[in-house]
Amino acid sequence: MTGVSRWTADAYPAPRGGAGAWGWAPPLAALLLGALIAALGANARVFEWLNRLPEYTGDALWANLTMFGDTVVAFALLLPWARRRPDIVWAVFLAALPATLWVDVLKPLLHHPRPAALLPPDLVHVIGPRLLANSFPSGHTTTIFVLAGVLALSRSGAGWRAACLGFAVLIGASRSAVGAHWPLDELGGAFGGWLSAWAGVAWARRWHWGLRPWPHRSFTALLVACALALFFHDGGYAQARPLLYLLAVLLLAGTAVGWIRAGRAAG
């Protein structure tokens, strides 16, 4: 598969059976669960339960987990897919457009206070920065649901898709564990993030511009820059620095090895 043919959507066929219920069921579940929590007035109670989890596991676990919802980390994690599955990279960049609108429009528009702004200090265990405003929706949760959604919908297999969804749910829940968000914020992020992923995958299969060599190389350069940034960026979670250093080394080394092997094969 060489030349122009490599950079067409036909080179990366859609998963057998398409997205099916995996496209609409996760955002619908987030919407229904959010409606239930709101109807029961249970937002604060669920938050308090999630926020107590570090009492049993320690703070470091949640500081590390929550960084997977950081935009820089999420883009860096795309590097392993850049050479073999450029369609996944393209779909994520397309999905990022509606996801960014979802977060950046609603946050300042609603200007909803975060748990640390409403609850007494002794009832909120904060790991990392103490955030007070622009709570809904959770940006970290939106980001991880975009990434997990695109990965899930771009490959077949219920086990793979369930693993992607489960990981995204865990990262979303970490936002309450670190004291940054209400559960409804995370469900809002899950709703908008997965829908954006579904749209991004569908859009990428109809518009192939991002599969051309120079746009894809530009995207890859940005992903490499994000991986390099992990040596300096911790999002305010200092306990995650060792993990971020390790991720940076693994991602950059793996990418370099892949490029070297590809160059030898081409030569």
- Specify the CATH number for the domain of residue 230: 1.20.144
> Quick check: is 89 in a domain?
yes
For the chain, the domain total comes to: 1
pTM for this model (two decimals):
0.94
> Quick check: is 27 in a domain?
no
> Quick check: is 24 in a domain?
no
What integer is the mean pLDDT of 32-43? 98
Residue-wise pLDDT for 83-141, tens only, equals: 999 999 999 999 999 999 999 999 999 999 999 999 999 999 999 999 999 999 999 99
So what's the pLDDT on residue 139?
Answer: 99
> Quick check: is 16 in a domain?
no
Residue-wise pLDDT for 204-223, tens only, equals: 999 999 999 999 999 999 99
> Quick check: is 256 in a domain?
yes
99-138 exposure pattern, b = at least 16 Cβ within 10 A, e = fewer:
bbebbeebbeeeebbbbbeebeeeebbbbbeebeebbbbb
Rounded (10°) angle between helices 43-51 and 158-177: 90
User: For 91, phi and psi rounded to 5 degrees?
Assistant: -65, -40
What range does the domain containing 78 cover? 42-262
So what's the pLDDT on residue 265?
Answer: 74
Across 115-228, the runs of DSSP E, i.e. the strands, are: none
Amino acid identity of 87?
D
> Quick check: is 150 in a domain?
yes
> Quick check: is 35 in a domain?
no
